[in-house]
Amino acid sequence: MVNIKINGVDYSVPDGSTILEAARIAGIKIPTLCYLKDINAIGACRICVVEVKGARTLVAACVYPVNEGIEIFTNTPKVIESRKTTLELIVSNHKKECLSCRRSGNCELQALCKEYGIDENKFAGANPEVEIDDSAAHMIRDNSKCILCRRCVAACGVTQGIGVIGANERGFATQIASPFDMTLAETACVSCGQCIIACPTGALTEKDDTDKLLEAIADPTKTVVVQPAPAVRASLGEAFGYPIGTNVEGKMYAALRRLGFDKVFDTNFSADLTIMEEAHEFLDRVQNGGVLPMITSCSPGWVRYCENYFPEFIPNLSTCKSPQQMFGAVVKTYYAEKIGKKPEDVISVSVMPCTAKKFEKIRKDQSAAGVFDVDITITTRELARLIEKAGIMFCDLPDEKPDSPLGTYTGAGAIFGATGGVMEAALRTAVWKLSGENNDAPIDFKEVRGVEGIKEATYTVGDKTVKVAVASGLANAKALLKKVKAGEANYDFIEIMACPGGCVNGGGQIIQPASVRNFTDIRAERAKVIYSIDANCALRRSHENPDIQTLYKEYFGEPNSHKAHEVLHTSYKAAELYR
């Protein structure tokens, strides 16, 4: 610990802390724009400047370390005037269309300008016309709203280890773009959306499909069904003032009904279905000499990353479709037949924490009934906007249940939303099977839980030893796969999720500002919702789901049957960029 003074008050803080961290400990908020903990500490925006006694100039609090006896001043007239002037310079060439901007009300630049009472017209900067890039399936980039904070660059390059965007040109011509000014669709972008949730303004946004959805709901000839993903209920409440880590599942179902969906089901159901196929696929590979390690295929960002960057691991990928796509496939086949409708007259809608799902639904070999398994995919954020637009008072809604039969789920289906959840859910059924269908077999596999980037565990079941690994965040996936490729690590089963912490931290979740992200582990808080749901479920193994059992009895026969492979499995192709 070191002794410091902030605004004339003595404090003791950990040695090695930055001024920003020390001030937070002291209960003082220093504003930031470019800083994101662990990935973007560059001191470039100069919003976090403070005075330090003895220093010749103002210093950036996000990168300046404290030392014994340092005296810091965070709110002097000189500091406030500097921050205000910097903000006025930033907005001088910023496209100021706040009323129509997607991020209005949740824009960090807008909030700071209001806080410091800036004059948005003080400096008349050049406002060059920029070309909006809407080439990708999942997002839109509008550089007229970019403030060059480089947070998106760090998310892509540091967090994900991809780096398909960066700073092009220099000086006033600087812009965030792809190499050689390629469109995003021409790059190996994996559609994860981590750049979107890192962006402090409206420069990066997901493609909005809410109008398309409302048209479908209004069409009397269509039956419109919806599936919300496990992680959506762990984040949606944040858009309506609930604390991070609040489970709003019941209100989510109620809101979806009031939006006009004919049936409100749940992706947790198809997560259970995914486990039935995936666990049996794993057992088949183990017992019959299949390709190992088997690697999960639930995360479309990871699958695309594998196709583009590690195509040699394509044979290792599980052939199972993701829960989103399995649900859509079941809706277009089994459910459509059950209600006497043509597949094209049943509109399959998903609500996802993930922007890559917008890309996944248009992939090849995702059309079990001859039409796309999923017609419309919206993010958690899009659902929140729809609820507001419809005038639904979310906080006043009663808690409701999903519809049957595609809304029933077990605890195993619920935990898909957190890193390690797919692995644990699969182990629950695989270990049960390997131990002779013993209901006393372990249910909790806590070694694969938690937000660490890479986790390993070894389990002994009967005469078999199963070694597993879990990675979240593609930079971690890259490190793990390199070890496997070099023969430095051997596993039987690997789970990989594109987003750090898993789907709870997906690129389509409610956006939290840096002031929250830097000091709260939102991944862990949202994951608590997932595991709480699991702990309170009467049934916690996927094969115990009664409606899953009925589905196999009436339609698929058994896991990994020929019909199951036709409807529930897919294929992959190396290095193909989908435009």
Q: Are residues 253 and 381 in the same domain?
A: yes
Tokens of 551: 């589905």
Residue 345 forms part of a structural domain:
yes
Domain assignment present for 46: yes
Residue 218 Cα to chain centre, angstroms: 30
Q: Distance from CA of residue 493 to its chain's centroid?
A: 23
Query: 18-32, 120-134, 333-347, 471-485: lowest mean pLDDT where?
Result: 120-134
pLDDT of residue 392: 98
How far apart are alpha carbons 234 and 353 in whole angstroms? 10
- pLDDT, tens only, 28-74: 999 999 999 999 999 999 999 999 999 999 999 999 999 999 999 99
* 229 and 273, same domain (yes or no): yes
Query: Is the distance from CB of 410 to CB of 542 less than 8 angstroms?
Result: yes
Give the Cα-Cα-Cα angle 300, 491, 521 (nearest 5 degrees): 55
Question: Do 39 and 103 share a structural domain?
Answer: no
Residue 88 resides in a domain: no
Q: Supply the CATH number for residue 135's domain.
A: 3.30.70.20
Q: Is residue 574 part of a domain?
A: no
The amino acid occupying position 178 is S
Q: Is 125 found in the same domain as 44?
A: no
Do 353 and 217 belong to one domain?
yes
Average pLDDT score over the chain: 96
Asked if 230 and 200 sit in the same domain, the reply is: no
Q: Does pTM surpass 0.85?
A: yes
Query: What is the reported pLDDT for 126?
Result: 80
Residue 152 lies in a domain: yes
In angstroms, the first-to-last Cα distance of the chain is: 54
Q: Please tell me whether residues 39 and 171 are part of one structural domain.
A: no
User: Is pLDDT above 80 for 578?
Assistant: no
Pick from 206, 236, 252: which residue ends a domain? Answer: 206
Q: Are residues 519 and 371 in the same domain?
A: yes
Co-location of 183 and 320 in the same domain: no
129 vs 363: which has the higher pLDDT:
363
The most confident of 123-132, 383-392, 429-438, by mean pLDDT: 383-392
The b-or-e profile of 298-313 (16+ CB within 10 A means b, else e) is bbbbbbbbbbbbbeeb
Best CA proximity match to 203, nearest among 95, 45, 352: 95
Do you find a cis peptide bond into 559, omega within 30 degrees of 0?
no
Burial 317-341 (b: 16+ CB within 10 A, else e): bbbbbbbbbbbbbbbbbbbbeeeeb
182 contacts: CB under 8 Å, gap ≥ 6: none
Q: Residue 125 has what pLDDT?
A: 77
Where would I find the H helices in 289-379? 300-309, 323-330, 336-339, 356-360
Task: List, for residues 303-359, the tens digit of each pLDDT value.
Answer: 999 999 999 999 999 999 999 999 999 999 999 999 999 999 999 999 999 999 999
pLDDT tens digits for 150-192? 999 999 999 999 999 999 999 888 999 999 989 999 999 999 9
Q: Is the pLDDT of residue 124 over 90?
A: no
Q: How far, in Å, are 164, 301, 518 from residue 360 at the CA level? A: 19, 8, 31
Alpha-carbon gap, residue 461 to 480, rounded angstroms: 25
Q: Which of 206, 236, 267 delimits the end of a domain?
A: 206
Dihedral (CA of 328, 346, 224, 206) sign? positive
For residues 9 and 64, state if they share a domain: yes
- Asked if residue 577 has pLDDT above 80, the reply is no
Rounded distance, CA 514 to CA 442, Å?
A: 40
Residue 246's domain comprises 211-568
Q: Is residue 557 classed as helix, strand or coil in its secondary structure?
A: coil
pLDDT at 245: 97
Q: For the chain, what percent of residues have pLDDT higher than 70?
A: 99
Whether the per-residue pLDDT at 221 is higher than 70: the answer is yes
Question: Minimal CA–CA distance to 291: which of 434, 493, 574?
Answer: 493
The mean per-residue pLDDT over the stretch 103-114 comes to 97
Instruction: For residue range 546-560, list pLDDT tens digits in order.
Output: 999 999 999 999 999
> CATH no. for residue 43?
3.10.20.740
The answer to whether the CB of 91 falls within 8 A of the CB of 45 is: no
Please check whether residue 293 lies inside any domain of the structure: yes
- In this prediction, residues 227-236 reach a mean pLDDT of 98
Q: What percent of the chain has pLDDT over 90?
A: 94
Instruction: Identify whether 196 is part of a domain.
Output: yes
| Joined tokens for residue 327 | 């649900």
Query: How many CA atoms within 13 Å lie on the side-chain side of 200?
Result: 25
Last residue of a domain, one of 20, 44, 75: 75
* CATH code assigned at 374: 3.40.50.1780
pLDDT of residue 41: 95
Total domains in the fold of the chain: 3
Whether residues 218 and 235 fall in one domain = yes
pLDDT value, residue 576: 56
User: Quick one: average pLDDT of 472-498?
Assistant: 97
Q: Are residues 226 and 190 in the same domain?
A: no
247 belongs to a structural domain: yes
